[in-house]
């Protein structure tokens, strides 16, 4: 269920706790963090505790082909199993009648692409830092037999 006013959109996530009891978690949809090929990423705030997450929001109507649905479900299945300091943390996912919501760690400092666009250059030590983090992440993915097929500066997110 989605409640909408001019500036406020509340998303309700229905879930069961460990005992099997039904609960509703409310999220406040915030600003756009980025856009991709089939999803838009928004800042979502948990209305119970104020914690902010990034929410990759996918419109179900954009998943008309079975291949697109399978690709998204595969992404969720893989991402929820990855625990690494250089990979955005997966929180959970849920859906409603029209959308799929993928809740991820929020990275407040934009992407490496945005940093380079603003600054034009990086210091040598910064390049070493980012290269080491990237190689560490790629070695981890390789150990899990995963190939990242969309590696680009815009997908290298900077956290605090």
From residue 29, alpha-carbon distances to 33, 70, 136 in Å are: 11, 26, 33
d(CA 32, CA 40): 7
Q: Which of 21, 22, 48, 150 is catalytic?
A: 150
Task: Indicate if 150 belongs to the active site.
Answer: yes
Task: Single out the residue of 97, 94, 7, 106 nearest to residue 50, CA to CA.
Answer: 106
Q: How far apart are the first and last CA of the chain?
A: 33
Q: What angle do CA 139, 57, 51 make, to 5 degrees?
A: 80
Active site positions, annotated = 150
């Amino acid at each position: 269920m989605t409640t909408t006013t001019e500036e406020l959109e509340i998303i309700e996530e229905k879930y069961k706790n460990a005992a099997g009891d039904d609960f509703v978690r409310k999220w406040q949809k915030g600003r756009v963090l980025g856009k991709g090929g089939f999803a838009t990423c928004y800042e979502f705030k948990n209305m119970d505790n104020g914690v902010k997450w990034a929410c990759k929001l996918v419109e179900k109507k954009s998943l008309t082909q079975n291949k697109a649905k399978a690709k998204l479900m595969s992404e969720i299945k893989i991402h929820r199993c990855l625990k690494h300091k250089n990979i955005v943390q997966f929180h959970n996912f849920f859906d409603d009648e029209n959308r799929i919501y993928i809740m991820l760690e929020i990275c407040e400092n934009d992407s490496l692409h945005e940093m380079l666009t603003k600054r034009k250059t990086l210091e040598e030590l910064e390049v070493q830092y980012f290269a080491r983090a990237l190689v560490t992440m790629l070695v981890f993915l390789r150990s899990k037999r995963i190939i990242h097929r969309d590696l680009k500066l815009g997908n290298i997110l900077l956290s605090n």
